[in-house]
Structure 1
Amino acid sequence: MGELLERRRNESFPETIETDRLRIERLSHETVDLPEYYRICSSDEAIDEVTEYLSWDPHESIRETREYVDMVERQWERGDSAAYLLRPRENEDGSGDIAGGAGMTFDWEQKTGTLGVWLRKRFWGRGYSGERAAAFMRLAFDRLDLDVVAVEHQAGNEKSQRAIEKYADRFGGSYDGTVRNWEVKSGEARDQHRYTIRREEYCEATA
């Protein structure tokens, strides 16, 4: 166990990941314009709809945005999680713009990484969620030596459910079940649905 925890402290996450259509780059004060990021996270088109099933609400001040970026930088350095920006690559509509955010949180003792993603409404329906998930699974299994990748969505989030079911099935994963009253959002206790993909399932699906 000590060896695993030492490996966690020394693990270096990639600063950037490129897929066919996305540039996935570390979220930090060096990579994001804070006023722009605040605008996106506070008053972007349909921001209430975007955050309806997320763990965070629209930001109320640029200070809140700054504190959020501070937090993810600390988590990155500790090895607790890796937070990224999603930017469409050249030849994509909105090339270079921030399309949303993605990340992975880690339980190193259980060798499990849990995925998360959000997208601005103008970038919905492009399949970016699945493309990002495939890239993060490669990171989890090929570089970080994890055994399980998990992904969750709140009850009622049908868009996320369809996207997750599609790539979980593609990589041999399965639906684990429902955790009741897992998270409180807008004063309402909500159920959470969980899916997992094991290393051996991923390897067989991508052989």
Structure 2
Amino acid sequence: MTDLFPRVFETERLRFERIHPETLDARDLYPHVREDSGIADATRFMTWDPHEHPKETMEYVQHTGEANDAADSGNYALYPKASEPGGGEFAGNAGLGADWERRSAELGIWLRKPFWGRGYSGERADAFVELAFARLDLDLVTVTVVDDNDRSVRAIEKYVDRWGGSHDGYFRHLRPHGDDPVNLHRYAIARADYESAGVDVDLAVVDE
């Protein structure tokens, strides 16, 4: 049986494996997300903090696997291919959360710092935009970013522009982050944008 979200897919430089307790050992993930791993720079603008203990990582993998099984989201461990520096090493997490009633999806990603600056965010975004529209038959893809996260803003604006999307709005105190609410920018790519953009996406489903 074919799942809504592919179990494994690849782009030109990256491999994506859907997160699940059967495929990702929390003990292998924990060294990359614990407090002393250097992950704090990556999570500064995220909705989660570095993990304090392995049980927290185990619960994350279990919860994410359940959401993937229910087709509420497609969350993937991201690995550069062998031809890339650090090939085969865990580089981060990328996901697409679906709102089926609204026929929309929201993108998300975090990368470990050694993998910043390689254009992986845009390559990943192109793949997930293709999945959202071509495979999942959704009508809108959105992404939000904290307003002072300049690095992510630049990356997002680059791929949103490539797909003909737009800055959708600026929302004050939209989401809690730690002890304080944060202001967010939202960007959107509509189906009409996707269909007229003519972007050639290098995406190969390896395991349905």
From 74, 91, 105, give the equivalent of 1:99: 91
Percent identity over the alignment is 47
SS of 1:92 mapped into structure 2: coil
Match of 2:21 in 1: 29
The separation in 2 between residues aligned to 1:77 and 1:122, in whole angstroms, is 31
Equivalent residue for 1:151? 143
1:192 Cα deviation (Å)?
A: 1.2
Alignment match of 1:199 (pick from 186, 191, 194): 191
Greater fraction helix: 1
Aligned to 1:120: 112
Instruction: Describe the SS at the equivalent of 1:28.
Output: coil
Moved more, 33-42 or 65-74: 33-42
Q: CA deviation at 1:45?
A: 4.5
Q: Distance in 1 between matches of 2:143 and 2:176?
A: 18
Q: Which residue, out of 94, 111, 128, partners 1:136?
A: 128
| Corresponding position: 1:168 with 2:160 | yes
Equivalent in 179, 186, 206 of residue 187 of structure 1: 179
SS in 2 for 1:29: coil
8 Å contact kept, 1:173–1:195: yes
- Encode CA deviations 1:98-157: one digit per residue, 9 max, x unaligned: 110000111111100100000000000000000000000110111100000101111211
Q: Distance in 2 between matches of 1:21 and 1:30?
A: 25
Check the 8 A contact 1:178/1:193 in 2, yes or no. Answer: yes
TM-score, normalised relative to structure 2: 0.91
Residue 11 of structure 1 and its aligned partner are, at CA, apart by 5.3
Letter in 2 for 1:166: K
- Contact between 1:100 and 1:118, CA under 8 Å: does it hold in 2? yes
Of 63, 68, 73 in structure 2, the residue corresponding to residue 71 of structure 1 is 63
Q: Residues of 2 paired with 1:54 and 1:41: CA distance? A: 13
Q: CA deviation at 1:44?
A: 5.8
Q: CA RMSD in A?
A: 1.4
Residue 14 of structure 1 aligns with which residue? 6
* Equivalent position SS for 2:34: helix
For structure 2, the 5+ residue unaligned runs are: 200-208
Tell me how far apart the structure 1 counterparts of residues 28 and 135 of structure 2 sit (CA, whole Å): 32
* Equivalences, count: 198
**SS of match in other structure, 1:38:** helix
Q: Which of 60, 80, 86 is 1:88 aligned to?
A: 80
